[in-house]
Structure 1
């Protein structure tokens, strides 16, 4: 899609989704929300991972504040946009394949929620992450409160959001908001390599693993054991698990792509 604020292409078995509105800082508006939801929904069946990137010097500056200012009914307009954006966030959370994001420049507002919705975030060293809601008198959306509370803990998350503070890349990595920090010039190559590595793996087992990790905080240890037993049994019965075990016994590299 080259005439929309999101561009897609298939790189081998990685579905590359690029925010492509650099003139606005890839700001969130109705067109961006609709295009990103459509791009995620259009993932070809052969794509075994998703890679989320952005054009321009900023990954995503958050909502289109000029659009909010021009709205006749700001409450209704912003509410609709938040609902549409949450469709995108849920699509990432529920993706049937692993999702990697390569982020750089500014990540603000609704863009912050994306960090918690994808599986692995690779972050350029010069990146700055800022909630930015307090600056315009808004409370947060896009899952950013969940993302920040889980990564930073309630006390640090409140400090960051209420004071409209900023995290640099190393601070974000130290608190677990992003997984990897790389040189700016290496971001696309590093994020792409990771996406391809995951695509070559047992993607259904990786998605089960994601479910276990994300749900762990809400379960007791005993409940988590039950979930682990159920999902490892599913994995062992899956063609991926059968291929992995055979490959181990035969002392060869497993071919998970062929395990349908």
Structure 2
């Protein structure tokens, strides 16, 4: 029998055209260690060409509790260990931010530490109502990593983000939804089905236009209106030249549902 230590940290499955990637270390709350970072990066790189969306899940009661503090404690050189792990984890976050297809996350239980940044790198997040979100760095005497300071500042605003992080506070799922950290809130028992349904819906859509839309939305906060208008004009022209755009226009004029998968 495979022990929890030997079992792969991440499980993958192609469900139609959805590439499901599941953090699979439930006995440790899906805590992040070097093996988890490497496995998740490899899973995202292994997305089949036909997969039109990624669905990120966490097995067990907790989605991701952040860094593996037990591994920190056992490191011979703590600064070097933590620094390397942060760099490896940031490579994972960058893969999600730059994903060529939409990324959906379904989260439950606990989202803590670098898990907050992981969630923030996804395009649409579905949360179970009982989920709690906690930066958790202050209790360890550490500053944030994993993109958590970026996503919390963007969603909560600097005053609330600082209040949360400096006091080692916790957000309920309702609060996370209210502030925009998560897009959808569902009852706990509905989470798996809701996340899968959403991922399938996005996979059936114009995924290249969705990726352009993601870029526009993320860049909007740091641009002038004029800069945004210029980028919108350029990207909508690209979308119109794309087979998806052509199919969408044809379907509209023919009064039929578009078939973006075939496009």
TM-score by length of 2: 0.97
Q: In 1, distance between residues paired with 2:59 and 2:259?
A: 34
Of 5, 11, 30, the match for 2:9:
5
Partner of 1:137: 141
Partner of 1:77: 81
Partner of 2:233: 229
Q: In 2, distance between residues paired with 1:213 and 1:117?
A: 13
Partner of 1:169: 173
Partner of 2:53: 49
Matched residue of 1:257: which SS?
coil
Large movers: runs of 4+ above 2 Å: none
Partner of 1:179: 183
| 1:137-160 deviation line (CA, Å, top 9, x unaligned) | 000000000000000000000000
Partner of 1:39: 43
Q: CA deviation at 1:114?
A: 1.2
Partner of 2:3: none
1:157 aligns with 2:161: yes
Q: CA deviation at 1:3?
A: 3.7
1:206 aligns with 2:178: no
- Which residues of structure 1 form unaligned runs of 5+? none
1:241 aligns with 2:241: no
Partner of 2:22: 18
TM-score by length of 1: 0.98
Q: CA deviation at 1:241?
A: 0.3
Partner of 1:146: 150
Measured on the aligned residues, the alpha-carbon RMSD in Å equals 0.8
Q: CA deviation at 1:45?
A: 0.3
Q: CA deviation at 1:22?
A: 0.3
Q: CA deviation at 1:116?
A: 1.3
Count of residue pairs the alignment pairs up: 258
1:29 aligns with 2:33: yes
Of 192, 195, 203, the match for 2:196:
192
Of 237, 243, 255, the match for 2:259:
255
Partner of 2:63: 59
Q: In 2, distance between residues paired with 1:110 and 1:34?
A: 15
Q: CA deviation at 1:191?
A: 0.5
